[in-house]
Amino acid sequence: MTNIHAPEVLISEVGPRDGLQSVKATMPTADKLRWIDALAAAGLREIEVASFVPAQLLPQMADAAQVVQHALRHTGVRVMALVPNLRGAQAALQAGAQKLTLPVSASPAHSMANVRKTPEAMVEEVKAVLRLRDEMAPGVPVEVGMSTAFGCTLQGLVPEDDVLRLAVLLAEAGVDEIGLSDTTGMGNPAQVSRLFKRMFQEIGPLTGAAHLHNTRGLGLANGLAAYEAGVRTFDSSLGGLGGCPYAPGASGNVVTEDLVVMFEAMGVSTGVDLHKLMAARAPLKAGLPGEPLYGMTPEAGLPKGWV
């Protein structure tokens, strides 16, 4: 079922950032580096390895610069870092990050709670990051992941027109890519399809990744809807790492293993070696003993005759 041509979809592994940031325990740096090595060996071409935030706020990310520098040894992997603001962007670029991603919330309520800024004020922060990027590292793409694009636990429904208006402001600011995130797992396939199609109409090729959560079991269905709407980059997390401590069960990101199986079984190439991807669970388990990992494929095994 593997395809020798260039992969048709990009699986962007966010476990080392989104996943580790969401669990209480802090993975030792050595284990983190081994895990990233295993993910790179599996053929993942983009890995979000760290978040550049103050260590006192997120001790899990205190080693961000060291992790980025280690990950840069892997050729063929784009090393991505999340930065919430200008200061974080400066630190990430100094460390050598090859892509920056900024979260901008479509929900004003979530934006105030998360970054103490309105969505409009975050657009100004993004402009400042773009200016810094132009000075420090002109070739580094800056992506915005629009969080709460499909609904918000604080304000409830997020009007699609609000999402699109914000996308246009970000496109005008000069962002390289704008993805949509189902931060709260409230999205459904019809909504995902409709909103991404409207995004393509509004901002065309700047439309970026689908960052989906499996909170209500709709992660893969939403991923398929996004694919059929034209999306070709998908964020996911090995073992579904990165749940919310207040929503027990598989509440985290879409499971990378299951997403890869879905696409490969459909004949859509990902460039990922599933056997090596499964093997990458071992360093994750070693670094976070006792942390629950999810995934239907790892439990069931690969189908008989899988190539």
CA atoms of 78 and 45, how far apart (whole Å): 6
Catalytic residue among 86, 244, 268, 302: 244
HSE-up (13 A, CA, CB side) for residue 272: 34
- Using alpha carbons only, how large is the chain's radius of gyration in Å? 18
Active site residue 244: yes
Q: What is the DSSP letter of 61?
A: G
Got the DSSP string for 164-192? Answer: HHHHHHHHHHT-SEEEEE-TTS---HHHH
| Gap between the terminal Cα atoms of the chain | 6
HSE-up (13 A, CA, CB side) for residue 296: 11
Q: Are strands 142-147 and 177-181 parallel, antiparallel or unpaired?
A: parallel
CB–CB of 241/22 below 8 Å?
Answer: yes
CB–CB of 74/41 below 8 Å?
Answer: no
Give the H or E element holding residue 233. strand 233-236
Amino acid type, 177: E
Active site residues per annotation:
244
